[in-house]
Structure 1
Amino acid sequence: MAASTRAQVISLYRMLLRESGKFPSYNYRTYALRRVRDAFRANRKVDDPKTVERLMEEGEQTLALIQRQ
């Protein structure tokens, strides 16, 4: 993974964690945080650029969804 892609992934991860932590309900907050961490852990070893790009798009859509909540 290129350094710029790695930085983008880390940035997306941090934004998802930050936005998930803003849920007022404890249950929603912990669920969202757990889902974000688990998704990034599950895809930690992905090296294919097309797969990384697809996962980044899914993450950005998820971020937009969390921000609308």
Structure 2
Amino acid sequence: AAGYASVRATLNELLDCIPLLVRNLEHSQQQHAAVVEAVLDRDAEAAREMMREHCGGTAALLRGFLA
């Protein structure tokens, strides 16, 4: 649990570096909705792919802001 808390704290610090731009928030919300829909549809592969896409995009965005 301590390892999870540490990773979560680090992630939150990085997410706080992202400016709150409407287009970013809308895009993120669309991705979250797609993940929820896939989970509710019991489509594990679609949910997994959406999470990969979302996490990859968020990582790229963070790298861009931190560069």
- TM bucket normalised to smaller: 0.5 to 0.7
Cα deviation for residue 53 of structure 1 reads: 1.0
RMSD, matched Cα:
2.6
Partners of 1:20 and 1:59 lie apart in 2 by 17
Q: Structure 1 residues 51, 20: closer, same or farther in 2, change over 3 A?
A: farther
In terms of Rg, which structure is larger? 2
Q: Deviations over 1:22-43 (max 9, x none)?
A: 22xx6xx111011111222244
Taking structure 2 as the reference length, the TM-score comes to 0.54
Taking structure 1 as the reference length, the TM-score comes to 0.53
Could you tell me which amino acid in structure 1 is paired with residue 29 of structure 2?
R
Moved over 6 A (4+): none
Partners of 1:22 and 1:58 lie apart in 2 by 18
Percent of paired sites with the same residue: 14
Q: 2:59 aligns with which of 37, 41, 64?
A: 64
Q: How many correspondences in the alignment?
A: 50
